[in-house]
């Protein structure tokens, strides 16, 4: 999300609606993946704040020094 749009609750609302749809379809977990690069720290912090936990880190997935971080939330 563009930095100027952060802090308005849009990401939280979109994520909550997605989680509701997954629950309604009988799902129990939501998995999200992102890069381990420094520029994605705000993204990972956002997901941690709304109840996601780091499930796994796959080192060097995208490129050397750029791992995949997999987060999960039980819904």
- pLDDT at position 1 is 60
The pTM of this model reads 0.86
Q: With cut-offs at 50, 70 and 90, classify the pLDDT of residue 9.
A: confident
Q: With cut-offs at 50, 70 and 90, classify the pLDDT of residue 8.
A: confident
Correct CATH for 3-74 of 2.40.50.180, 3.40.50.300, 3.40.50.720, 3.40.630.30 = 3.40.630.30
DSSP 9: S
Average pLDDT, integer, range 13-17? 96
Average pLDDT, integer, range 41-65? 97
Q: Tokens in use for 49?
A: 């704040």
For residues 40 and 64, give the distance between their C-alpha atoms in angstroms, rounded to a whole number: 16
Number of residues that make up the chain: 75
So where are the chain's domains?
3-74
Q: Tokens in use for 44?
A: 């990972």
pLDDT at 2 over 70: no
For residues 63 and 69, give the distance between their C-alpha atoms in angstroms, rounded to a whole number: 13
């Amino acid at each position: 999300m563009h930095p100027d749009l952060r802090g308005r609750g849009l990401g939280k609302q979109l994520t909550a609606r997605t989680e509701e749809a997954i629950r309604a379809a009988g799902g129990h977990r939501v998995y999200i993946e992102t890069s381990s690069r420094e520029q994605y720290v705000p993204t990972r912090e956002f997901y941690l704040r709304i109840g996601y936990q780091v499930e796994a880190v796959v080192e060097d997935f995208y490129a050397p020094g750029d791992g995949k971080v997999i987060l999960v939330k039980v819904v």
